[in-house]
Copies of this chain bind each other. A is one copy, B any other.
Amino acid sequence: MLLSNTARQAPPAYPASGVLPSAVQPHLAEFERFLASQVDDFEPHMRELVRYILANHGKRIRPTLVFGSGWTDDGRIRPDLVHAAAIVELIHLATLVHDDVLDGAALRHQLPTASRKYGASVAVLLGDTLLTQALKIASDYFTIEVCRAMALATRRVCEGEIHQTLERGNSRFSVDEYFEVIALKTGELFSVSCLLGAQVAGHPAEYVNVVSRFGLQLGIAYQLYDDLADFCGDENQIGKTLGTDLASGKFTLPLLYLIERLPETEAAVLRRDVLAGLATIKDLTVRMNKHGVLVAVRERFEVELRLGEDALADWGHLPSTTRLLELAAYVRGQAGRLLG
């Protein structure tokens, strides 16, 4: 707990905020136009399906990361950044479509998942087409670097997901393994979003490394927030059912921290209850509160996020750094709202 104590002592590098950076809104609007235009590139029988996936979306954090890390003084909208934003978002949407198949999820952002609406078979294939469309857009750059970075990042995202899936129901899953998994399944795509933005905008190589590191940390922090929200979020606000990780036997950080803090016999009972599907969110949340688990996760979130912000410390003179710190503040604000 040394790290989280350190985090508690210092004020946040950038104060919490509830809104995405407003400067990128025109860029996101252009991104939406470009993304919607992709529909026509598909075979006619595919277009309704692709349109459905593109329309039911989240906060577009990854595209915002691309625009943020690729920000330059004039703040103008650059088509190459718009394309990069579309690539990372399509990959993200593809993984969500596949995730919903794996989890048998019924709803995503309050609407039926592709798997529920079109069947699991179509959803698997639809995910594949979104993924390959992303790589097709990536191959329109004059440099092969975009393809290479995206193919590797996507593979690593899936490797993280597989690791987690193989460990479902393993009650001896460790905190270290948990962090390995989330660095891959969430950190990689946040990181490559920053990498692409900075690279496409022509930022120096050292800065490209720095923003990649920032992205990785922001992704880890974001996943901590997301996993915490599965226990104590507001269903309407997060747009999905609470307890889905628990129900699928995923040992996420709040649960791992609770197990760590319980006496051994009580921990053994809890492990068994989780595997038997007997643990309830309500009971767990009460116990997590009692044992300071929610606060500890929140502190760990702050530590991870701060590591990302610290990576940018020497680059405050670049306007892109301001955009990225605004985004970190937004994610901090989201997490803050969870615990009131």
Contacts and interface: CB of A to CB of B under 8 A. Distances in A.
A162 B131 contact: no
A62 interface: no
Interface in A222-273: none
Contacts of A158: 125-126, 128-129, 132
A138 B154 CA distance: 14
Contact of A121 (B46, B148, B152, B165): B165
Quickly give the copy total for this chain: 2
Interface in A127-163: 127-129, 131-133, 135-136, 138-144, 147-148, 150-152, 154-156, 158-159, 161-163
Contacts of A3: none
A122 interface: yes
Interface string A103-127: 0000000000000001111101111
Contact of A159 (B129, B161, B163, B166): B129
A132 B192 CA distance: 15
Given A139-B148, A144-B144, A163-B45, A128 B131 contact: yes
Contact of A122 (B49, B124, B126, B166): B166
A73 interface: no
B139 A155 contact: no
A314 interface: no
Contacts of A166: 45, 118, 122
A43 interface: yes
Interface of A: 42-43, 45-46, 49, 95, 98, 101-102, 118-122, 124-129, 131-133, 135-136, 138-144, 147-148, 150-152, 154-156, 158-159, 161-163, 165-166, 184
Given A43-B163, A129-B155, A135-B150, 15 more contacts: A42-B155, A46-B162, A102-B120, A102-B121, A118-B166, A124-B124, A125-B158, A127-B128, A128-B158, A131-B131, A131-B132, A132-B158, A139-B148, A142-B144, A143-B144
